[in-house]
């Protein structure tokens, strides 16, 4: 059973999460040629105060 872990900033919209899980599942099903019930997708959300890119916290980027 493939397990896909997505780790990133918090997503506020549950519909976006649904779309993300569905689309990633579809890609894995196509690549592995397995039933979608055999694919697990885990979304791990982090506060923007705990994620940085380019040496800057995402929380600080949103203030600009």
Which one has a higher pLDDT value, 51 or 55? 55
What is the rounded distance in angstroms from the CA atom of residue 52 to the CA atom of residue 12?
18
Span 6-43, pLDDT tens digits: 998 889 899 999 999 999 999 999 999 999 999 999 99
CATH number at residue 36: 3.30.429.10
Cβ contact 6:40 at 8 Å = no
pLDDT of residue 63: 73
β-pair partners for 5 = 42
pTM of the model: 0.79
pLDDT in tens, 38-49: 999 999 999 989
Range of the domain at 41: 3-63
* pLDDT, greater one: 37 or 1: 37
Number of compact structural domains in the chain:
1
């Amino acid at each position: 059973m493939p397990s896909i872990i997505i780790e990133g900033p918090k997503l506020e919209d549950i519909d976006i999460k649904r779309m993300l899980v569905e689309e990633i599942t579809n890609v894995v099903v196509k690549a592995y040629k397995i039933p979608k019930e055999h694919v697990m997708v885990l979304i791990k959300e982090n506060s923007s105060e705990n994620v940085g890119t380019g040496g800057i916290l995402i929380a600080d980027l949103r203030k600009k």
